[in-house]
Structures are given as structure tokens and as C-alpha cells.
Amino acid sequence: MAILNIVKEGDPVLRGKCRPVTEITPRIITLLDDMIDTLHDANGAGLAAPQVGVRRRIALVECEEGKLYELINPEIIERKGQQEEIEGCLSLPGKWGVTRRPMEVTVRAMNRNGEIYTVSGSGLTARAFCHEIDHLDGILYSDHAIEMLRPEDIEVE
């Protein structure tokens, strides 16, 4: 397994629409494993394949330690409520913005075994699902941020 390079804003791979995964191959499994290592190394809450230079519909979300969601060909099938919170992105280091996202979402996706499943999340997990699935369509959180923040606007806990 390897730590992959996270591409930064301005790289055209972040703006392309990703291709669906049609077959779970050893290469897809290796990509998932490498993305997990990369996510953990970067201390992020999520990572999408285009962020490591791969235009495939694959994303990871891990907002709570031990609760890692591998999302292959994910789609949001239900949205409820609304939240406005601060978001950042591993591909936009040092930048933060306020976004409006659903409070709860349900996602349908495939796992590494090719099985279709659904998962629901609220709060930070819902935001992360939305954020990572946006990446698969070439959308960055900054595209629809209500407000971009300056570093001095961020309170560190």
C-alpha cells in the first residue's frame, strides 16, 4: 500500500466528471487500499479518487475513527433538513468556507466486494458524503460556498 499524491486546486482532474466503476478488479482494490492510507496520512474526513488523480467514481468517508465508508459509484438517494457549517478540503489546503448542505443524507453505493448497500449519515458525515460525491462530478465545495473565510476567521479548538 502507498501514500498517493493529493492533487491541488487548479489541476484539471479535479474538474472532470468521473467514470463509473464497471468491475471490481485488483487495480480497484489497490486504489481503495492506497486511498485509505492516503486519507489516514492526511488526517482527512474524506477522499475522492480525482483527488489522487484518478477519474473514477470512488470515494472514502471516515468522520469517526473505525467507521470507514468505501463508496463505489455512490449516489445520494435521500436528503433531509439543512445545515450551514465550515468545510475544508485536502485539495484546497489552507482554505475554508461555509456551505449549506443537507442535515441527513442516504447514499447508495457499491463496496469492494461488488455488493450494493445503503448508508445514512447526519451532521459531519452527511456533509462529507455530499462533499466527496461532489468531487466525482468535478465540483469543489468552494463552487457553492456561501462565504469563503480568511485564516484569521477560523477558531482552532
Q: What is the pLDDT of residue 14?
A: 98
* 46 within a domain of the structure (yes/no): yes
49 in any annotated domain:
yes
- Is the pLDDT assigned to residue 157 strictly greater than 60? no
| Predicted local confidence at residue 1, as pLDDT | 73
CA dihedral 72, 78, 86, 55 (to 10 degrees): 20
- Whether 21 shows a pLDDT value over 90: the answer reads yes
- Percent of the chain residues topping a pLDDT of 70: 96
- Residue 28 resides in a domain: yes
- Average pLDDT estimate for 27-49: 97
Give catalytic residues, as residue numbers.
132
The β-bridge partners of 64 are 67
Does some domain include residue 7? no
Is 22 contained in some domain?
yes
What does the pLDDT read at residue 148? 95
Does residue 65 belong to any structural domain of this protein? yes
Q: Please indicate, yes or no, if residue 143 is contained in any of the structural domains.
A: yes
102: its cell numbers:
443537507
CATH number at residue 35: 3.90.45.10
Q: Are residues 31 and 49 in contact, defined by beta-carbon separation less than 8 angstroms?
A: yes
Domain count within the chain = 1
- The answer to whether position 82 is within a domain reads yes
Residue 69: domain span: 12-153
38-49 mean pLDDT: 97
